[in-house]
Amino acid sequence: MTSISMSVNGKAVSGDVEDRTLLVQFIREDLRLTGTHVGCDTSQCGACVVHVDGKAVKSCTMLAVQASGSEVTTIEGLANGGDLHPLQTAFKENHGLQCGFCTPGMIMSAADMIARYKASGSKLDEKAIREELEGNICRCTGYHNIVRSIEDAAAKMS
């Protein structure tokens, strides 16, 4: 067992984990933050995307020990108390989810891409959003409204 500590959603957390523990296991099973999902076992679906030190990563493809000392943000960290994050509102208003399983990963990926495009000054248009979602799979195949939700939120966040 190894002692790890990190900041999750602005709160200092620590725990003793086996070195083989995946970051997503630590988040879900130790911290009981079950908004981050595991949709596949092959690093492809993106349901587990969280931000580590400000960058979107697949938490099923990173060990918890690798993230020790880092700042992690999960879907639970986006809303400000009772006020939803603009992306959460946009997904609600644009019917951006059907079963909802992929939604946490979609929203965390969207938050990352919006921030990156804003920082670089390039335009996040529909084509760019679709390319950026390459690592996120929606098995309801509801991509159209997911893309619209992200476009809507990006406009409101600019």
Partner 1 sequence: MYETKYQRASNVEDAAKMLAATDDGKFISGGQTLIPTMKQRLAAPSDLIDVRNIDAMKGIAVDGSNVSIGAAATHAEVANSNDVHKACPALCDLAGMIGDPHVRHMGTIGGSIANNDPAADYPAAMIALNAQITTSKRTIGADDFFTDLFETALEEDEIVTSITFQAPSKAAYAKFPNPASRYAMAGVFVAQVEDGAARVGVTGAGSSGVFRHGEMEAALSKDWSEAAIKNCKVDEAAMLSDLHGNAAYRANLVKVMAKRAVAAAG
Residues that bind partner 1 (CB under 8 A): 2, 18-20, 22, 41-44, 46, 49, 55-58, 60-63, 65-66, 109, 112-113, 120, 132, 134-136
Question: Measured from the CB atom, is 112 or 152 closer to partner 1?
Answer: 112
Give the nearest distance from C-beta 95 to partner 1 in angstroms.
24
For residue 113, what are the contacts with CB-CB under 8 A and spacing of at least 6? 56, 124, 128, 129, 132, 150
Cα–Cα distance between 102 and 54 in angstroms, integer?
Answer: 20
Question: Measured from the CB atom, is 49 or 146 closer to partner 1?
Answer: 49
Cα–Cα distance between 121 and 33 in angstroms, integer?
Answer: 33
Question: Measured from the CB atom, is 15 or 93 closer to partner 1?
Answer: 15
Give the nearest distance from C-beta 52 to partner 1 in angstroms.
8
Cα–Cα distance between 23 and 119 in angstroms, integer?
Answer: 27
Give the nearest distance from C-beta 75 to partner 1 in angstroms.
15
